[in-house]
Chains A and B, each alone.
Chain A
Amino acid sequence: MPQRPLPPSSSSPAVTKGLFILWAVPGQGGRPLQPPTLQQIQALVRHMAEDAQELFAFYEEDQRLAINHLCRTNRPPEWLRGPVMGPGGLRGLRGTMARMAQVLQDITRHQRDLNPPGAEILRRLASTHLKVRGLLSNLEGLFPAPSLPPGRWAPPGPTAPTKVFRQKLEGCRILWSYARFMAKLSTQLEARSRREKRRSRRGSRPPARS
């Protein structure tokens, strides 16, 4: 039975979107002057989890793929499987986000063959791509060194032409897996935040950064 993505924790959309604008946009390809705090990353992730769920729902409906829950696979691609935060904590997230940014570009390219310029699905894909890039940029601000070995996140080359339906389906399944991934990540960050607050109340010194 396919599963729905975990619901992101409730938060004010206005607040989270405002935070996203604060941290993701001012860079315009560059970096914010001050590195973001963990709480800010957490708020951004929460917002991205909501956005990922909305994108998936729209894509599934728009591409007429809701029949038999074709997209809601229990076998996500390797790079979108858990554990979401491994031993390296959020450090490991950089690779996932880099890969996701590339996949979103591929999906967008496929969809350009199917939709007129300016179509809603293209607009949403571009928006999500921007958010992924934003989180990636923030993670790079949070963990500035050491730089990742080149090629590790090198985007794969242009995919060989495949059948249109298969491309649609693969895109849909990745968006489903991505939505679940972000929901899990948001939940873990919330839990971690609660733990740290408890620790801080007990007087223990909170870890500086993961």
Chain B
Amino acid sequence: MLLLSGDQEEEKIQIKSIVFPVKYLNISKDLALQQLLVEWDVGKSAHDAKLAMSFEIQVRRIDETTTVWTEFHNVTLDKSGKPLHWIWNSDLPLECMSHLVRIRSKAEASKIWSQWSPWETVLGLDTSNNSRPQIFPNEKIVEEGSDITLCCIGREGQIIKEFFLVPAVHVFNRTNSQVGLLTVKNVAHQGAPHITVYCRESCNEEQCYDHAVFFVGKPPDTPSDFSCQTQDMRIVTCTWSQGGDTYLYGRHSPKYTLSEEFSQKMVPCTVSCSDQCSCSWDIGQQRIYNITVTVENPLGKKTATDVFDVTHRIYPAAPFQLWEESTDTEITLYWKHQNKGIELFCQTEVLQPDGKVELHNCSDTHVRYASMTLGGLQPYTEYTARVHCGAAKHFWRWSEWSEARTIRTKEATPSGKLDIWREITSVLGGRNVTLFWKQTPSFRANGKNISYEVTWEKVEDGSKPESVSFSSVCNSTRISIDNHSYRISIMAKNNVNYSLPSVLIIPRATGARELKEEQVNGTDDGIFISWEPKHIYDNYIIDWCNYPMLQPCDLQWKRFGPNTSSALINSAAFVPGVRYNFHIYGSVANRASLLEKKTGYLRELPPLHDPTVEKVELTFNAVTLSWDSYPTNESQSGFVRGYNVYVSPIQEDCSLKGSKKHVLPDDSVLCKYTIENPEEKRYTVKHLLPNTKYKLVVKAYTGGGETPIVNFIYIDTPFNSNMLYLLVLLVIVPALVAAICRWKMKWLKECCCPVIPSPNKSKVLSFKEYKIGSGKVLKISDCIPDMLAVDNKAEAQKLHPWSQLSSAPTEDKIDGPSSSWIYPNESEERDFTPTPTPQTHIWFENFAYSSHLGVESEPETLEASKPELSVVLYQPHYYFDIFNEDAASTPRETAGRKSSLRYISQTDHKAHSKHRGQTA
């Protein structure tokens, strides 16, 4: 053979060019494991040469053209000449179709592959005798998240028409051939205990169907918290936690087994599982163990191990049969235990009355029983005790607690003192003293039947003391004493003895000293009280009533040390809006003296009621309100700090002088006046408008503010009478004067202007010859004037009587060069529009100017020359009435004569002026 040649290099070259083809190939199948078992061999020469060889193995399915698997298998041959083996796990059930395998080989040193062996076939299910279609696999258990492929093999000549799962899941399936295929990827549990597979051929008879199921589950979790222990050194119990649901139940559920490594034996115990799993067995003489718990289901197996010495795993039984002995301050507890021969260390848990828990250790164990003494206890107090134990050597864990026992210590003398206080009321011939007592935090009754004994005696003469007993439910009593000084003591008493007395000295009655009450402020935490400390006192007492409006008012008191000068007083009974009165006493040698008085609210609230306005004094521009009966005392829900008066006209917002604006929620504006003195209960709102309707309200305010404005009172201011008086003064009086003047005109004329002759009476001015209309014409020739003058001087105006009455701005004057006159304004002009009424006029005519007269009297001219009008108050149009009646012509007519001639008396210029006015 080539391998035997001496030239190694040459041998290698030759090997590289030689192939060793597969000479034998056999395939079989393991249906249980769904494996293809492949066996093959190459020539003996290859074995003899111990060649390292590579084999390429291909697997194909009969209905598929492509190779489903290719694998290279490397092996070094030996001289035994045994055939080679390879196993392939099929993902498709081998029953479903025939599988074909072929192999080729190559020496590792060679680069040349042999020829492929012929395909060797392993047949699928022989369906010739099938009476119905068949599904593979059936009842397979698959792990959640893995894939599964199923096939349904129809009978010969039949094709698979339906192939599906219930509950329905997404599958890849192939039907319409004799073999139906169905693949599920990443299978999930889906809440169903199993999945049912349905298959049907193209017919409908019963033999055309097949059904199968498969299960989706999980491998078991590793047992957790696995440990073993013993109570009595005879039986060991191992416990562990199960882990999560595997979704496999009944015969597929996880099975637990325990084995022991040293003895190489299965542990003879029965596993029971509920919340935890446990298994117990008799240990015999073995002390050291290496226990393994194995949990297994069809999808996997997990283990947990515990190695231990039994003597180190003692978990004692709970102590039992507890009993006790007790005094007033001690309890001795006794118990029994089952663990004979095992030294135990025990612990007693004592539950105190205040809820605190104390642990007491004990290692003293009697042969028959164990005991522990608990000291420093309170008399007549219930304690609850229980015991647990552990191994004193190699402590493993505490036993379960024993049954708890509640034990009461014995009674003892009351300890501590009572806190006592008094309230003194003077009555005729003496005083009533109400005594109060309460248990201080340090006081302990130390017994079941507590009672109180009150004793009082005169201090001065040492008279026989009086004494009264009260039951435990009493905390006050009232005694009557005279005006002498008294010593009062109160003691608590139980079945054993009396407590130390608490003493109070009531001093001799003297005149009460008036103390000013000071206001204090409340906070969220209470009412803060401070006082001026004095070194002579050994303690201070503050008392107050929890319900000041009730009788009895539930008097409370609190004591403070000598170095205290302030306190925050709080009580569950304190509520906002109630005034509490505090008395601060200093006490020395049990004698208390009132030092200060305080009053305050926990929180001030707005007043409960608004002031009732009792009196309203009203003028045309002011209103005075009073609310004298409004209380500012303790009935109020806060200290009344003052009042706010709100005013507003009904129809509009308010803007009175001297007020502040207050806007209501409806955006209306009120005027606000604030009175900061609570005792000032009267206020005058000024600057009101006459003849106007106003709404008003008076609100009291406290430190808590004031209540919302809801109700108003309404007033109507009267008309301003001063204006009426002024009107009367300016209009009626002059009118009256004018009327009188007219009535007494003749007399006046005669009195005032006696020298002016009447032209009608003049012989000269007989007016017989000439008449124009109704007027008479005086001829020049008939009388010879000694002087003729045109009066256009401004000074003349001053003499006009009406110009003195009219206020300057209301006058409209025509600044003509030839006359001065008063003209009414336009309105008055309307009232006095000239009407053509036949009147008799006396004209003094200069014919030289007569044509001019006619032109000047044209109304248009008058209108053009009319001055601008202005609004004038109190325009005395009455005057024009008078004027009109009195005058022979209207002002317009008069104005038309700006340049007319007037007769001036030859005798008296002054009289001339007056006469001119009258003529006008």
- The residues in B between 232 and 286 inclusive whose CB is less than 8 angstroms from any CB of A are 245, 249-252
Whether the pair B250, A112 counts as a contact (CB closer than 8 A) is yes
Whether the pair A114, B139 counts as a contact (CB closer than 8 A) is no
Does B916 reach chain A (CB closer than 8 Å)? no
Residues of B within 8 A of A116 (CB): 193, 245, 249
Q: Which of A65, A114, A165, A169 contacts B250 (CB 8 A)?
A: A114
Residue of B nearest to A161 (CB): B251
Residues of B within 8 A of A115 (CB): 193, 249
Whether the pair A114, B211 counts as a contact (CB closer than 8 A) is no
Residue of A nearest to B139 (CB): A164
Residues of A within 8 A of B249 (CB): 112-117
Q: Which of B167, B192, B211, B252 contacts A165 (CB 8 A)?
A: B211
Whether the pair A114, B166 counts as a contact (CB closer than 8 A) is no
Residues of A within 8 A of B193 (CB): 114-116, 119
- Complex Cα distance, B194 from A112, in Å, reads 12
Does A163 reach chain B (CB closer than 8 Å)? yes
Whether the pair A64, B167 counts as a contact (CB closer than 8 A) is yes
Does A160 reach chain B (CB closer than 8 Å)? no
Residues 148-179 of B, flagged 1 when their CB comes within 8 A of A and 0 if not, give: 00000000000000000011000000000000
- The residues in A between 67 and 125 inclusive whose CB is less than 8 angstroms from any CB of B are 67-68, 112-117, 119
CB of A120 to closest CB in B, whole Å: 11
Interface SS majority for chain B: mixed
- The residues in B between 23 and 48 inclusive whose CB is less than 8 angstroms from any CB of A are none
CB of B165 to closest CB in A, whole Å: 9
Residues of B within 8 A of A64 (CB): 166-167, 192, 196
Whether the pair A113, B252 counts as a contact (CB closer than 8 A) is yes
CB of A112 to closest CB in B, whole Å: 5
Q: Which of B167, B194, B198, B245 contacts A164 (CB 8 A)?
A: B194
Residues of B within 8 A of A165 (CB): 138, 196, 211-213
- Complex Cα distance, B252 from A9, in Å, reads 43
Residues of A within 8 A of B196 (CB): 63-65, 165
Residue of B nearest to A165 (CB): B211
- Complex Cα distance, B250 from A165, in Å, reads 16
Residues of A within 8 A of B139 (CB): 163-164
Residues of A within 8 A of B192 (CB): 64
Whether the pair B211, A169 counts as a contact (CB closer than 8 A) is yes
Residues 184-208 of B, flagged 1 when their CB comes within 8 A of A and 0 if not, give: 0000000011101010000000000
- Complex Cα distance, B253 from A114, in Å, reads 10
Residue of A nearest to B251 (CB): A113
Residues of B within 8 A of A169 (CB): 211
CB of B479 to closest CB in A, whole Å: 73
- Complex Cα distance, B503 from A185, in Å, reads 96
Residue of A nearest to B206 (CB): A70
Whether the pair B213, A164 counts as a contact (CB closer than 8 A) is yes
B residues neighboring A (CB under 8 Å)? 138-139, 166-167, 192-194, 196, 198, 209, 211-213, 245, 249-252
Could you name 29 residue pairs across A and B whose Cβ atoms are closer than 8 Å?
A: A64-B166, A64-B192, A64-B196, A65-B196, A67-B166, A67-B198, A112-B250, A113-B249, A113-B250, A114-B193, A114-B194, A114-B249, A114-B250, A115-B193, A116-B193, A116-B245, A116-B249, A117-B249, A119-B193, A163-B138, A163-B212, A164-B139, A164-B194, A165-B138, A165-B196, A165-B211, A165-B212, A165-B213, A169-B211
A residues neighboring B (CB under 8 Å)? 63-65, 67-68, 112-117, 119, 163-165, 168-169
- With A64-B167, A67-B198, A163-B139 already in contact, 4 other A-B pairs whose C-beta atoms are closer than 8 Å: A67-B166, A114-B249, A164-B139, A165-B213
